Amino acid sequence: MRLCRASLDALPERVLRPGYEPAEHGVGIVHLGIGAFHRAHQAAMTDAAIALEGGYWRILGVSLRSSGVRDQLRPQDGLYTLAVRDGASEQLRVIGSVADVLVAPEEPAAVVAAIAAPSTHVVTLTVTEKGYCHDPATGALLKDHPDIAHDLASPAKPVSAVGFLAAGLDARRRSGGSPLTIISCDNLPDNGRVLAGVMRRFIGLARPELAEWMEIHVSFPSTMVDRIVPATTDEDRREIARQLGCEDAGLVKTEPFSQWVIEDRFAGPRPAWERVGAQIVDDVRPFELAKLRMLNGSHSTLAYVGLLRGHEFVDQAIADPGIARLIDDLMVEAASTLPQVPGLDPTAYARDLKLRFANRSLKHRLTQIAMDGSQKLPQRLLATIAEVHRAGGAAQAAAIGIAAWMRHFSGPNLNDPLAVQLRAAASDDPRELVDRSLKLRPVFGELGGEPWLRELLNQAHAALDDIAAVPA
């Protein structure tokens, strides 16, 4: 038997059900990029908001590439289990906020129509950093990106998130549609501004008649999202099936902690997310910087140094004394770049992060975190390095994270949109590796030509050798 509406009543009593009848609540949100993170984070908060206040706020998910999530959820009436794990404890909760999933390559017209629909008031995105088809160093739209080049040539048949949004907004404009809020939930600094910027550039090239309407009727709030969501394994599915008494192909596992900070710039109605834990604020940037530089920067460093040390999971890496000391130093460097704002205590945040990293029940693979480093490190580590340098210091721990990433180029686990360029830069000679890597303009931009950065990274490779020499 499979998890679905018909099997809900047969679930064990300890399993939490949706606090509402899903079929009685219509769709008000379209989400692009419906992966595990969205289902553990925004979809879970939306589920809680519907249970508390009702409303037509269920989610139509869109997969921009594969049919995997649709094939998992459609036979289950959109239902899936969220397994919240903390050490020996586990809470199982069935989420009902996802109404259906579309596969964009198979149903592009339906995706465009959903964005344009009068009932849609919010579009959210988790398409990862590379899904914005932009230069991470400058934020500019990459016109020559294959997906963008395709969408500029064939705007009525989009393949990118940017292209689908533009087509949906144009259809919304032509039908006299109401205002729309588009919310990026990806780990990008000023993600709302970045998304608005690539949209303006794309529309200026492909649909200039849409530009004025978008400026008046569409808002792009910036956000900060935080929840650790490891990849679900077959072993996880077997264990949860045993507990549920039925199979759940859509299972997602996560940690208890969850944070969503949203800029208060909504163009129209929205769910009552603030009543279920979201923070609606005037300025997201302090929270965003703390997360990007302290959590994400530490995560990336844990991944690259941990893999070099032979570790498989985050909890193993943070238990390695040499890596733990490095992460302590990195968090101090990152904290020194943060503005002082009420409600943000970097010392307490750092302490809590290390406790979250040590959660053994998550089994968060370092290889998962190490993906797409060329897209992530400008925000996660290079920004800290640059800001500490401007203040007259040297961010040595962050530089070690960059050095470990460079050594990752020649390893077996490289998974990156710039993989060809990264492998071409690989070298067994650390100084040659630094020289070649700094020429990667999409990553380093103008910083790549700075002599001080070259010297800092050369020193970082020597320090990395010292860490590697200590038994794990």
Smallest CA-to-CA distance from 294 within 255, 263, 338, 324 is with 338
Domain that holds residue 196: 5-281
Which string of DSSP letters, residue by residue, matches 267-301? SS----GGGGT-EEES--HHHHHHIIIIIIHHHHH
Cβ atoms within 10 A of the Cβ of 295, count? 23
Asked if residue 223 and residue 366 are part of one domain, the reply reads no
Asked if residue 310 and residue 257 are part of one domain, the reply reads no
> Token pair for residue 128?
């990862």
Do residues 80 and 30 touch, judged by C-beta distance below 8 A? no
pLDDT number for residue 343: 76
Asked if residue 416 and residue 293 are part of one domain, the reply reads yes
Cβ atoms within 10 A of the Cβ of 29, count? 27
Last residue of a domain, one of 258, 281, 304: 281
pLDDT tens digits for range 4-47: 999 999 999 999 999 999 999 999 999 999 999 999 999 999 99
Smallest CA-to-CA distance from 398 within 334, 467, 452, 311 is with 334
Does residue 448 sit in helix, strand or coil? helix
Exposure string for 32-61, b = 16+ CB within 10 A, e = fewer: bbbbbbbbbbbbbbbbbbbbeeebbbbbbb
* Interatomic CA distance for residues 353 and 50, integer angstroms: 30
Last residue of a domain, one of 281, 302, 335: 281
Domains of the chain: total: 2
* Interatomic CA distance for residues 463 and 430, integer angstroms: 12
Which string of DSSP letters, residue by residue, matches 376-422? HHIIIIIHHHHHHHHTT---HHHHHHHHHHHHHTTSTT---TTHHHH
CATH of the domain at 222: 3.40.50.720
Note down pLDDT in tens along the chain; length 472 residues.
Answer: 999 999 999 999 999 999 999 999 999 999 999 999 999 999 999 999 999 999 999 999 999 999 999 999 999 999 999 999 997 789 999 999 999 999 999 999 999 999 999 999 999 999 999 999 999 888 899 999 999 999 999 999 999 999 999 999 999 999 999 999 999 999 998 999 999 999 999 999 999 999 999 999 999 999 999 999 999 999 999 999 999 999 999 999 999 999 999 999 999 999 999 999 999 999 999 999 999 999 999 999 999 999 999 999 999 999 999 999 999 999 999 999 999 888 789 999 999 999 999 999 999 999 999 999 999 999 999 999 999 999 999 999 999 999 999 999 999 999 999 999 999 999 999 999 999 999 999 999 999 999 999 999 999 999 999 887 666 6
* Interatomic CA distance for residues 329 and 407, integer angstroms: 21
Which string of DSSP letters, residue by residue, matches 54-120? --S-EEEEEESS-SHHHHHHGGGTT-EEEEEEETTEEEEEEE--EEEEEETTT-HHHHHHHHH-TT-
CATH of the domain at 389: 1.10.1040.10
| CA angle 26–32–34, rounded 5-degree value | 85
Asked if residue 218 and residue 130 are part of one domain, the reply reads yes
Exposure string for 102-114, b = 16+ CB within 10 A, e = fewer: bbbeeebeebbbb
Last residue of a domain, one of 246, 261, 281: 281
pLDDT number for residue 470: 66
Asked if residue 365 and residue 243 are part of one domain, the reply reads no
Asked if residue 306 and residue 216 are part of one domain, the reply reads no
Asked if residue 36 and residue 99 are part of one domain, the reply reads yes
pLDDT number for residue 467: 85
Asked if residue 319 and residue 253 are part of one domain, the reply reads no
Cα torsion angle, 262, 265, 269, 274, sign: positive
Asked if residue 303 and residue 177 are part of one domain, the reply reads no
Laid out side by side, the sheet with 259-263 consists of: 223-226, 259-263, 279-281
pLDDT number for residue 234: 96
Residue 226 bridge partners (DSSP): 259
> Token pair for residue 239?
């264990």
CA 255 remoteness from chain centre: 15
Ramachandran angles phi, psi of 219, nearest 5°:
-115, 150
Asked if residue 142 and residue 115 are part of one domain, the reply reads yes
Crossing angle between the packed helical segments 146-153 and 191-206, to the nearest 10 degrees: 40
* Interatomic CA distance for residues 356 and 354, integer angstroms: 5
Asked if residue 205 and residue 157 are part of one domain, the reply reads yes
Do residues 166 and 158 touch, judged by C-beta distance below 8 A? yes
Laid out side by side, the sheet with 252-254 consists of: 89-95, 80-86, 252-254
Asked if residue 205 and residue 71 are part of one domain, the reply reads yes
Do residues 166 and 202 touch, judged by C-beta distance below 8 A? yes
Place of tokens 């460093």: 301
* Interatomic CA distance for residues 312 and 372, integer angstroms: 18
List C-alpha distances in Å: 105 to 52, 66, 72, 159: 35, 8, 17, 7
